[in-house]
Amino acid sequence: MNHEEPLQLAQLEAFAAVVRAGSISGAAEELFVGQPALTARIQALERAIGTSLLVRGRTGSRLTEAGRALLPYVHRALTAVAAGRRAVDDVASGSGGRLTIGAAPAVSTYVLPAVLHRFQQEHPRVQLSVRSGHSEEVLGMVLREEVDVGLMRPIQHAEIITSPLYEDQLVLVVHRGHEFASHGEIRMHQMASEHLILFDRTSSYHELTSSIFRQAGIAPRGYLEVDNIDAAKRMVEQRLGIALLPLTSVQAEIGTGRLAPVTVADMAPVRRQIVVARRRDAGTPSTIVADFLGTLDALRPDREREPRFLG
Asked if residue 156 belongs to a domain, the reply is: yes
Select from 93, 115, 142 the last residue of a domain: 93
Asked if residue 213 belongs to a domain, the reply is: yes
282 and 133 in one domain?
A: yes
277 and 189 in one domain?
A: no
217 and 127 in one domain?
A: no
Select from 93, 121, 136 the last residue of a domain: 93
Asked if residue 248 belongs to a domain, the reply is: yes
CA distance 89 to 177: 57
Alpha helices in 94-221 (DSSP H): 105-110, 112-122, 135-143, 179-183, 204-216
Percentage of the chain modeled with pLDDT above 70: 91
Task: Supply the range of the domain harboring residue 111.
Answer: 96-166+273-309
Please say whether the beta carbons of 48 and 1 come within 8 A: yes
Asked if residue 60 belongs to a domain, the reply is: yes
Question: Residue 93's pLDDT is what?
Answer: 63
Closest CA to 252 of 173, 165, 134, 135: 173
238 and 283 in one domain?
A: no
267 and 206 in one domain?
A: yes
Closest CA to 165 of 246, 245, 268, 272: 272
Asked if residue 1 belongs to a domain, the reply is: no
CA distance 288 to 18: 39
Say how many domains are in the chain.
Answer: 3
255 and 278 in one domain?
A: no
Q: How many residues does the chain have?
A: 311
179 and 160 in one domain?
A: no
pLDDT tens column, 106-133: 999 999 999 999 999 988 888 899 999 9
User: Would you say the pTM of this structure is higher than 0.75?
Assistant: no
246 and 105 in one domain?
A: no
30 and 149 in one domain?
A: no
Instruction: Say if residue 205's pLDDT is above 90.
Output: no
Question: Residue 181's pLDDT is what?
Answer: 93
108 and 82 in one domain?
A: no
CA distance 308 to 140: 26
Question: Residue 208's pLDDT is what?
Answer: 85
Asked if residue 2 belongs to a domain, the reply is: no
pLDDT tens column, 145-175: 999 999 999 999 999 999 999 988 899 999 9
3-state secondary structure of 54: strand
Percentage of the chain modeled with pLDDT above 90: 65
CA distance 130 to 145: 14
pLDDT tens column, 9-34: 999 999 999 999 999 999 999 999 99
CATH of the domain at 176: 3.40.190.10
- State the helix-helix crossing angle for 112-122 and 287-299, rounded to 10 degrees: 120
- The pLDDT-based confidence of 309 (bands split at 50, 70, 90) is very low
